[in-house]
Every structure is written in structure tokens, then in C-alpha cells.
């Protein structure tokens, strides 16, 4: 009798490290894809279980962020 319902997916830490290595190698976005405004970058630091550290710039569009803020205010 086959056992069902006890599946677990184990993600090896190497794949996470590979993902962050790939992200680190990507060129920075300089312009917002939505509105073309020059993006700000906020550095975010990530740690893996294996003890590796990555600091990646997270792009942030001040224009789109402001629009979302205004939309929320109007909605209220
Ligand atoms: Zn934008």
C-alpha cells in the first residue's frame, strides 16, 4: 500500500544560496518599470542557514509609493 499525504519538500540550502548569488549578480534597476521614475535603493541584508550573508539593494519607487499612499487616503 502506497503512502500518500506524507510528502515533504526539502529545499537544500545550496539552492537558496544559488538564488541569492544569482540575484546579487543582476544589474540594478535604475528606473521604475511602471512609471519611469528613478528608483531609490534600500539595502537589505539576508542570512542563510549556512552562515552566508548577502546584502541586496531593494528597488523602491518614491512615485508609485506616494500614489499608493494617496489612493489609500482617498479610499478612507
Ligand atoms: Zn514607479
Given a cut of 90, whether residue 64 has pLDDT beyond it is yes
pLDDT band at 39 (very low <50, low <70, confident <90, very high): very high
Q: How many domains would you assign to the chain?
A: 1
Q: Residue 34 Cα, ligand 1 centroid: separation in angstroms?
A: 5
The phi, psi pair for 48, rounded to 5°, reads -100, 165
For 25, the domain range is 2-75
Q: Residue 10 Cα, ligand 1 centroid: separation in angstroms?
A: 37
| pLDDT per residue as tens digits for the range 8-26 | 776 677 788 888 888 888 8
pTM for the model stands at 0.52
Q: Residue 40 Cα, ligand 1 centroid: separation in angstroms?
A: 10
Q: Residue 39 Cα, ligand 1 centroid: separation in angstroms?
A: 8
The most confident of the ranges 2-6, 7-11, 24-28 is 24-28
Q: Residue 58 Cα, ligand 1 centroid: separation in angstroms?
A: 14
Q: Are the C-beta atoms of 52 and 17 separated by less than 8 Å? A: yes
Taking residues 38-62, what's their average pLDDT? Answer: 88
Taking residues 26-32, what's their average pLDDT? Answer: 86
Amino acid at each position: 500500500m502506497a503512502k500518500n499525504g506524507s510528502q515533504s519538500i526539502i529545499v537544500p540550502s545550496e539552492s537558496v544560496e544559488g538564488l541569492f548569488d544569482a540575484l546579487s549578480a543582476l544589474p540594478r534597476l535604475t528606473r521604475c518599470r511602471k512609471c519611469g521614475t528613478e528608483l531609490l535603493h534600500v539595502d537589505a541584508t539576508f542570512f542563510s542557514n549556512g552562515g552566508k550573508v548577502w546584502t541586496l539593494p531593494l528597488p523602491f519607487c518614491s512615485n508609485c509609493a506616494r500614489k499608493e499612499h494617496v489612493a489609500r487616503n482617498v479610499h478612507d
